[in-house]
């Protein structure tokens, strides 16, 4: 069973490129090429879709930018410079495909399996849900009390 991994979709959005530019990028930056089916097998997640999506080639690129060639739906370039061929790496790549590229097949593969946990943002619990009004007020009062104490200690040292 796979343990939940904090969700961390890389901030860069996929860059559309011309097929001629894609040939240059894929030749220079590709570290490995996996099919979608091989990626799901490596991640230990059975794919939930069939058809042309299963034959899509995922190029793992060195660098920080994701690419997709316009007019070539069977090729995708995912920036993953530290690929080691492990299950967590494969899950991260599926996550990038699902939530960075908005890839239907990858999203269906990881959806509802409890593989990814949203990272907590300010004002949210670790579950990703917003605080209740009472929780927000309690935190506000704690901050005010801490601020008053620090001001009092500054006044007493003068």
Mean pLDDT in order along the chain per 10 residues (158 residues) = 50 78 87 90 89 84 84 84 87 86 86 68 65 88 90 76
Q: What is the pTM of this model?
A: 0.66
pLDDT given for residue 127 in this prediction: 64
pLDDT given for residue 1 in this prediction: 42
76 Cβ contact partners less than 8 Å away, ≥ 6 residues apart: 14, 56, 57, 58, 59, 66, 67, 68, 97, 101, 103
pLDDT given for residue 141 in this prediction: 94
pLDDT given for residue 2 in this prediction: 47
């Amino acid at each position: 069973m796979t343990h939940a991994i904090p969700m961390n979709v890389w901030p860069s959005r996929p860059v559309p490129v011309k097929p001629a530019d894609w040939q240059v990028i894929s030749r220079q930056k590709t570290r490995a090429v996996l099919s979608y089916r091989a990626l799901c097998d490596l991640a230990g997640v059975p794919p939930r879709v069939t058809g042309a999506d299963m034959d899509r080639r995922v190029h793992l690129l060195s660098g920080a930018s994701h690419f997709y060639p316009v007019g070539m739906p069977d090729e995708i370039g995912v920036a993953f410079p530290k690929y080691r061929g492990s299950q967590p790496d494969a899950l991260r790549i599926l996550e990038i495909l699902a939530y960075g590229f908005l890839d239907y097949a990858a999203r269906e593969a990881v959806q509802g399996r409890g593989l990814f946990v949203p990272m907590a943002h300010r004002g949210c619990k670790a579950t990703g849900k917003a605080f209740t009004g009472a929780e927000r007020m309690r935190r506000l009062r704690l901050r005010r009390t801490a601020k008053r104490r620090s001001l009092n200690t500054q006044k007493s040292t003068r």
